[in-house]
Structure 1
Amino acid sequence: MAKNVIVGQSGGPTAVINSSLAGVYKTAMDLGAEKVYGMRHGIQGFLEKNIVDLGEKIRTDLDLELLKRTPSAFLGSCRYKLPDIKDNRELFDKIFEILDEYEISAFFYIGGNDSMDTIKKLSDYAILISSPICFIGVPKTIDNDLAATDHTPGFGSAAKYIASVTKELIRDGLVYDIQNVTVIEIMGRNAGWLTGAAALAASEDCEGVDMIYLPELPFDVDLFVERVGKLLQKKKSVVIAVSEGVKTADGKYVFELTDHTEYVDSFGHKQLSGTARYLASLVSEKFGCKSRAIELSTLQRCAGHLTSRVDITEAYQVGGSAVKAAFEGETGKMVILKRVSNDPYICTTDLYDVHKVANIEKKVPLEWITEDGTNVSWQLVNYIRPLIQAELTPVMITGQPRHIVIDMEE
């Protein structure tokens, strides 16, 4: 059997996605792979044969260590949806022709829900044509919305960043002796895991945010304004965390209540932006106080200077576990993380049928949201806290993080 393997990255990047790539590369080489290829820009680049030999890019132990600590997607990413097999068998034939040309025995895809859909379709087609190639999904997403796994690599570091920045914004709001409202917009289309992480700002030296709104529950704009008014009667500085994906009871995104430019990707996902701006403007207009909107935006997923050591370690482990599974003949599976214990925190890896994962969103349990819908419970805080522990600082050169990159023109 051929010992060449190939790996790609897809969807939105994270601060630790390259640690999973490092885990795939190192484990594959240790287990005897002749070559480890990388797809530039995921399956989309693969179809154009935009493929690199990772052995020519990762030459030393320092390169490997830099890769683990470099945010974003080293190989480049894509948002490319494979059609159903019945709709375009020619495309799948082309994919497998390229795989055979490079003598690939195992295919790894690092990504979230849509990436697992790719693994599902490719593994199904392999069975259909009796191909021996193994297909394994490596979980990744800051949104933490993949089913079956306790959590996803990338989430812990994003949660650490959110909790830290939220605490700093709370401190900043107390500087002036005037009333002010800060609305922090946090990523999360349909699941509020990231927004819930703002609750971790509360500690003995910080009172925490005043309200947290997740997309799991309908958002009432009038009730929101009423609650802000009551808070302003009691305190000068109000800080609110809100998910970019909150919707009104009729299913309309809050950001759509104002003028906006709409972009929709190939998976039909609207670009969500403007929720905080709309709400901050509404508050300022209603109460005549200073208000500001803070969009953490892509900073949540690329803050490599504030990664969680737990997160970066687990990202590496799931990459290695994927390779071991494929070399043992597993296919059509996704690596998952299983929490054995919370105190002390212990987590192991396992495999799960990708057909039971693809296109399924894991949302925050409603019982982890307070009854009035304006905050989260201690269960969610206890769930997240172990994932943000410890740090792995970047390699610093002349005062800035050093990254490893591929020339985009290659």
Structure 2
Amino acid sequence: MKKNLLVAQSGGPTAVINASLSGVIWKAMQEEKIDKIYGAQHGIAGVFSEEFVELKACAKKQMEEHFPKKEEESILLSPFGDFLLVKGSTRQEAAYFSRLAQTPAAALGSCRLKLKNPQEDPREFQELLSVFKAWNIGYFLYIGGNDSMDTAWKLSAYCKEQGEDIVVVGVPKTIDNDLEGIDHCPGFGSSAKYIAASLLELERECLVYDTKYVMIVEMMGRNAGWLTAAAALSAEKGSIPYLIYLEEQSFSKEQFQKDVEKALQQSDQVMVAVSEGIKDSNGKFLYTYGREEGNKDAFGHSIAGGAGGVLEQMILEKMSVKTRSIEFNLLQRCAGHLLSKTDVEESFLLGAQAVELAVLGENGKMSSLRRKLSGENSFEKSSGQKDSENSNTGKSPKAGIGYAVEYSAVPLSEVANQEKKIPLSWIGKDGHSLEEEALAYLRPLILGEYSCDFVDGLPQYISFFEKSGK
């Protein structure tokens, strides 16, 4: 008997989380073993409340609304639409799944809900199984980051322990790029592209003034400095000194002030990039200087922000120079107008592969990829990360000379509650730059330009905020 597939999105939204969702729906519609395709609104919370959208029917309806079949021959495809056309989609399908893939944030909605340990209190998991049975769910795909993979892992293990024929597969997502078991995370490449491009634009802002000027820009990344590391791509192309401070290395106020003074001797304009979660040698978050640590999310993580402002005050107390601090904040994670081609295509294919894994019965796995080394660097090479299992589905389109990836699967148990940080060997000896290894890792991830669709001069998006019955 055919089973239904349920997919949900969780955690912080990204510019390409819907590319993975698009890949899931696109592939699931082709699978004979799958009957209905449901989407849970607002992550696992929507599973508990049974707020489901019948995605196959909804997609077909929206497809006709956005791209009428009678006008198919005149539909203008985006570059990603052309990519899907080559994959066997009709022109109408290519246009629709392309628009969904390049819609930022989470089209199904998201949540941050921490489930209890089923060994201590199985009631939540019993309730989830009851919902799955009521809706004939045989496959559950969860798109998310570290905490979401923890949820998927617990649920997959519980289904197995209960002898239930339900396959749970994780689909990676996080701009923080800190998931283990994968070379780089969907969402990171587009955020890195936004950061690097925006810093170069801010550099132009600095250069228009004939005065000494220090611009401080704070990036997201609670415990890992991957996003801030993207500033090294700007420094490589820029024309003023860049000082880059990552949370992987302790911060010294005195050394920072010396770094700024030295940089100002070389140039009247200086760019400072800092991770929001940077700490001093005592392990204290800089953003807590002068105030309490603040609120925490559902998983107990500190809600960071404000390190840039602290650095601004450190400069002003030591030297008389125009200084401005800004936070990229939410803008860096959902910039649909400036997407990495590499990121969109890989995210889509990771979603499609997750469906393949589910149909094959690969319970407790996460759809993954690893870099095929040929002149470019990989995280695996520098960190000693283990080879992934089940390498299978070939290579993504090239994103630069020598760059290609192999799609694979890794056990969720190796991903859940783990955190991947930048190797210390990638940080320059001066403490405020990155080595060539880091740049070689980063460069291919931002290549190629994709963008959300524009209609009448403004972005056009797709979402699934509607309900349906069983």
Shorter-chain TM-score bucket reads over 0.9
Paired residue for 1:74? Answer: 107
Alignment of 1:37-186 (within 5 A): 37-59=38-60, 60=63, 61=93, 62-186=95-219
For residue 23 of structure 1, report the CA deviation from its aligned partner: 0.5
For residue 52 of structure 1, report the CA deviation from its aligned partner: 1.2
2:182–2:370 Cα contact (<8 Å) kept? yes
Q: Does 1:401 align with 2:459?
A: yes
Instruction: Give the letter for the 1:379 counterpart.
Output: E
Instruction: Give the letter for the 1:387 counterpart.
Output: L
Equivalenced residue count is: 409
What secondary structure, in the 3-state scheme, does the structure 1 residue paired with 2:101 have? helix
Paired residue for 2:35? Answer: 34
For residue 285 of structure 1, report the CA deviation from its aligned partner: 3.1
For residue 287 of structure 1, report the CA deviation from its aligned partner: 1.1
Instruction: Give the letter for the 1:399 counterpart.
Output: G
Alignment of 1:1-400 (within 5 A): 1-32=1-32, 33-59=34-60, 60=63, 61=93, 62-203=95-236, 206-207=238-239, 209-259=241-291, 262-341=294-373, 342=376, 343-400=401-458
Distance in 2 between residues matched to 1:326 and 1:366, nearest whole Å: 37
2:212–2:321 Cα contact (<8 Å) kept? yes
State the TM-score, normalized to the length of structure 2: 0.85
For residue 209 of structure 1, report the CA deviation from its aligned partner: 4.6
For residue 208 of structure 1, report the CA deviation from its aligned partner: 5.4
Distance in 2 between residues matched to 1:30 and 1:408, nearest whole Å: 23
1:149–1:338 Cα contact (<8 Å) kept? yes
Distance in 2 between residues matched to 1:320 and 1:335, nearest whole Å: 9
Shift of the 409–284 alpha-carbon distance from structure 1 to 2, 3 Å rule, reads: farther
State the TM-score, normalized to the length of structure 1: 0.97
For residue 261 of structure 1, report the CA deviation from its aligned partner: 7.4
Instruction: Provide Cα deviations, 1:82-129, integer angstroms capped at 9, x if missing partner.
Output: 110122211111100000111011000001110110111001101111
For residue 286 of structure 1, report the CA deviation from its aligned partner: 2.2
For residue 217 of structure 1, report the CA deviation from its aligned partner: 0.7
More off after superposition, 385-394 vs 52-61 = 52-61
For residue 281 of structure 1, report the CA deviation from its aligned partner: 2.5
What secondary structure, in the 3-state scheme, does the structure 2 residue paired with 1:302 have? coil
For residue 65 of structure 1, report the CA deviation from its aligned partner: 2.0
For residue 408 of structure 1, report the CA deviation from its aligned partner: 7.2
Distance in 2 between residues matched to 1:17 and 1:237, nearest whole Å: 37
Distance in 2 between residues matched to 1:409 and 1:6, nearest whole Å: 14
Distance in 2 between residues matched to 1:235 and 1:201, nearest whole Å: 16
What secondary structure, in the 3-state scheme, does the structure 2 residue paired with 1:347 have? strand
Instruction: Give the letter for the 1:55 counterpart.
Output: K
Shift of the 168–260 alpha-carbon distance from structure 1 to 2, 3 Å rule, reads: farther
For residue 272 of structure 1, report the CA deviation from its aligned partner: 0.7
What secondary structure, in the 3-state scheme, does the structure 2 residue paired with 1:202 have? helix
Structure 2 residue runs of 5 or longer lacking an equivalent are 64-92, 377-400
Distance in 1 between residues matched to 2:301 and 2:38, nearest whole Å: 30
For residue 407 of structure 1, report the CA deviation from its aligned partner: 4.0
Instruction: Give the letter for the 1:2 counterpart.
Output: K
2:29–2:56 Cα contact (<8 Å) kept? no
- RMSD between superposed Cα atoms in Å: 1.5
More off after superposition, 52-61 vs 212-221 = 52-61
For residue 335 of structure 1, report the CA deviation from its aligned partner: 1.1
Shift of the 372–203 alpha-carbon distance from structure 1 to 2, 3 Å rule, reads: closer
Distance in 1 between residues matched to 2:254 and 2:264, nearest whole Å: 16
Distance in 1 between residues matched to 2:134 and 2:291, nearest whole Å: 50
Distance in 2 between residues matched to 1:392 and 1:337, nearest whole Å: 21
2:353–2:367 Cα contact (<8 Å) kept? yes
Instruction: Give the letter for the 1:83 counterpart.
Output: K
Instruction: Give the letter for the 2:254 counterpart.
Output: D
1:200–1:208 Cα contact (<8 Å) kept? no
For residue 232 of structure 1, report the CA deviation from its aligned partner: 2.1
Instruction: Give the letter for the 1:167 counterpart.
Output: L
Distance in 2 between residues matched to 1:289 and 1:208, nearest whole Å: 16
2:371–2:404 Cα contact (<8 Å) kept? yes
Instruction: Provide Cα deviations, 1:278-308, integer angstroms capped at 9, x if missing partner.
Output: 1112212321211111200111110010001
Instruction: Give the letter for the 2:173 counterpart.
Output: K
What secondary structure, in the 3-state scheme, does the structure 1 residue paired with 2:329 have? coil
Instruction: Provide Cα deviations, 1:334-365, integer angstroms capped at 9, x if missing partner.
Output: 11111113332111210101101101000001
For residue 133 of structure 1, report the CA deviation from its aligned partner: 0.4
More off after superposition, 278-287 vs 290-299 = 278-287
Shift of the 302–408 alpha-carbon distance from structure 1 to 2, 3 Å rule, reads: farther
Identity between Structure 1 and Structure 2 (%): 44
Shift of the 3–408 alpha-carbon distance from structure 1 to 2, 3 Å rule, reads: closer
